[in-house]
């Protein structure tokens, strides 16, 4: 990975952390805090917000039981279960639930029942009594495929180190791969599609190739790079009746696709560009990559069977670098925030843009960052912030806004990250100086946009723990970029 690219990302993260130090809150009538889970100015840092049986389930720290699973219906917040009952102290007494995954009428997640014990797969029917250990294995990734739970571990069935794929039928976990093989532990190299789990696997005979399993039958889909070399498939992204992925055919890396029957290359990847993120939205598959020659990131969209450049930053300086954050695919446009760095510490340019193959337009000016974007009730909601030039570390305007095709409308002054839409409610993780970082909810903009009324929360300084927590939630909104080129990268 290019060092300048690392510097740009680092500079952007420092800038965001700096911007989160202070905020002022004016609330809209439809916007409110769900609960002050960690009472007072301390923060509960809610995360992993997931819909299940009409409620939002999430992980949070109430300051007494550590980080444990919670749920809400919007009018209350309830601790599901104190899984790790060890005395709470900094870094101890938390089960740290993660990877919430719904399969039928069950919610699965990973958690640790004691500070000394291993992480296991837990299951709940939504009740505390129904929260129990399902599988005594440490999961690398949980994946719902229809009514089945698949999971990947970093240990084989014989407990030796190496990736393995499993299926759980509600009572017993069955390995899908053997003790001699290796399932890829790249989190982007597995995905549900067409009632099967598709994953990258090396069974010892043909290198790492594309495999699929319905829980009963497991087989190689195709030997893309014929022989023992392996195609190293990764960056899986499903859309309708097509699963897209990136693979090496023995000559070059390319964008591939399968419908479960036929598997073929769609297009070669752009020469000299290290593709590290593949997503699929209403506009089609799009990819982010880094061009070492131009010292900048590039964004490509698949149209008509060809990869079309949407944004080529072409920073063009040995020291500088450019970072593109894809926020949303909404109404035929890709919304992105572009940050250009001088390669040291300074941010020299920022742009909030909406892109199509026909061109680009500026969404907003005069802002220094965008914290996520979520489509809700036909509108795209996002949080923007502006640095406070009168303060060494601060923010003068953390604003929740939306766009609906006729410009940008302000909903309220609130520093937040939109995270999920559940049951007609937009959930956000938000900060104010009185209550810290907590879970908020928004039910709709009854006055059609415009500023919120009434003051609340006030300004103030936040702890470094709050900054780290809210920043980590922001970064979790997109997959982490790969830190190494794949085999065959030009």
Closest CA to 189 of 278, 283, 98: 278
Residues 118-136 have pLDDT tens digits of 899 999 999 999 999 999 9
223-232 burial: b if 16+ Cβ within 10 Å, else e? bbbeeebbbb
Q: Are 274 and 237 in contact (CB under 8 A)?
A: no
Closest CA to 5 of 273, 327, 341, 313: 341
| pLDDT of 26 higher than 50 | no
Residues 180-224 have pLDDT tens digits of 899 999 999 999 999 999 999 999 999 999 999 999 999 999 999
Which pLDDT band holds residue 228 (cuts at 50, 70, 90)?
A: confident
Which pLDDT band holds residue 445 (cuts at 50, 70, 90)?
A: low
Closest CA to 385 of 20, 10, 13: 20
3-state secondary structure 426-438: EEEEEEECCCEEE
- The model's pTM is 0.85
CA distances from 118 to 112, 121, 140, 167 (A): 6, 10, 13, 20
What is the structure's pLDDT at 343? 65
Report helix, strand or coil for 180: coil
Question: What DSSP string describes 63-123?
Answer: SSS-EEEEEE-SS-EEE------SPPBTTBS----EEEEEETTEEEEEEESSSSSPEEEEE
Residues 406-430 have pLDDT tens digits of 788 888 888 888 999 998 999 999 9
CA distances from 128 to 70, 82, 123, 170, 341 (A): 10, 9, 10, 18, 49
Which pLDDT band holds residue 271 (cuts at 50, 70, 90)?
A: confident
Average pLDDT over residues 336-349: 76
Q: Are 105 and 53 in contact (CB under 8 A)?
A: yes
What is the structure's pLDDT at 392? 33
What is the structure's pLDDT at 161? 92
More confident position, 343 or 157: 157
Sign, Cα dihedral of 421, 424, 425, 426: positive
| pLDDT of 286 higher than 50 | yes
What is the structure's pLDDT at 11? 33
Which pLDDT band holds residue 311 (cuts at 50, 70, 90)?
A: confident
Give dist(CA 468, CA 92) in Å, integer. 18
| pLDDT of 62 higher than 90 | yes
Report helix, strand or coil for 10: helix
Give dist(CA 96, CA 276) in Å, integer. 28
Residue that is written with structure tokens 């006030």 in the block: 458
The residues, any chain, with a CB within 8 Å of residue 121's CB and separated by 6 or more, are 108, 109, 110, 133, 134, 135, 137, 139, 142, 149, 151, 168
Give dist(CA 375, CA 370) in Å, integer. 15
What is the structure's pLDDT at 15? 30
């Amino acid at each position: 990975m290019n060092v300048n690219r690392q510097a740009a990302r680092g500079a952007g993260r420092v800038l965001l952390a700096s911007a989160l130090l202070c905020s002022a809150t004016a609330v809209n009538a439809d916007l409110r805090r769900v609960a002050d889970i960690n009472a007072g100015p301390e923060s509960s840092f809610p995360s992993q917000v997931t819909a299940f049986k009409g409620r939002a389930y999430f992980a949070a720290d109430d300051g007494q039981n550590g980080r444990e699973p919670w749920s809400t219906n919007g009018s209350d917040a309830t601790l599901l279960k104190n899984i790790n009952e060890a005395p709470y102290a900094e870094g101890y007494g938390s089960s740290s639930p993660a990877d919430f995954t719904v399969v039928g009428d069950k919610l699965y997640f990973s958690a640790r029942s004691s500070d000394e014990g291993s992480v296991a797969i837990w299951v709940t029917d939504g009740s505390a009594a129904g929260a129990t250990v399902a599988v005594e294995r440490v999961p690398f990734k949980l994946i719902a495929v229809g009514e089945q739970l698949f999971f990947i571990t970093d240990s084989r069935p014989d407990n030796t180190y190496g990736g393995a794929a499993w299926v759980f039928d509600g009572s017993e976990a069955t390995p899908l791969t053997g003790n001699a093989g290796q399932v890829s532990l790249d989190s982007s190299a597995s995905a549900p599609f067409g009632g099967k789990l598709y994953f990258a696997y090396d069974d010892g005979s043909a290198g790492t190739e594309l495999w699929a399993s319905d829980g009963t039958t497991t087989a190689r889909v195709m030997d893309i790079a014929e022989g023992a070399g392996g195609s190293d498939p990764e960056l899986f992204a499903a859309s309708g009746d097509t699963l897209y992925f990136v693979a090496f055919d023995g000559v070059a890396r390319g964008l591939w696709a399968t419908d479960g029957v036929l598997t073929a290359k769609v297009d070669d990847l752009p020469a000299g560009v290290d593709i590290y993120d593949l997503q699929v939205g209403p506009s089609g598959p799009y990819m982010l990559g880094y061009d070492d020659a131009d010292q900048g990131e590039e964004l490509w969209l698949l149209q008509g069977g060809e990869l079309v450049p949407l944004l080529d930053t072409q920073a063009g300086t040995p020291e500088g670098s450019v970072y593109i954050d894809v926020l949303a695919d909404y109404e035929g446009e890709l919304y992105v925030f572009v940050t250009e760095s001088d390669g040291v510490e300074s941010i020299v340019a920022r742009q909030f843009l909406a892109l199509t193959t026909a061109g680009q337009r500026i969404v907003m000016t005069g802002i220094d960052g965008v914290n996520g974007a979520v489509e809700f009730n036909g509108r795209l909601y996002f949080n923007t912030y502006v640095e406070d030039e009168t303060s060494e570390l601060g923010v003068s305007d953390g604003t929740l806004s939306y766009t609906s095709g006729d410009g940008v409308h302000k909903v309220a002054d609130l520093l937040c990250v939109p995270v999920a839409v559940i049951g007609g409610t937009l959930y956000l993780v938000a900060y104010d100086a009185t209550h810290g970082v907590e879970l908020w909810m928004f039910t709709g903009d009854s006055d059609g946009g415009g500023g919120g009324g009434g003051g609340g929360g006030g300004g103030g300084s936040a702890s470094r723990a709050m900054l780290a927590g809210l920043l980590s939630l922001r970064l979790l909104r997109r997959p982490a970029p790969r830190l190494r080129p794949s085999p065959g990268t030009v």
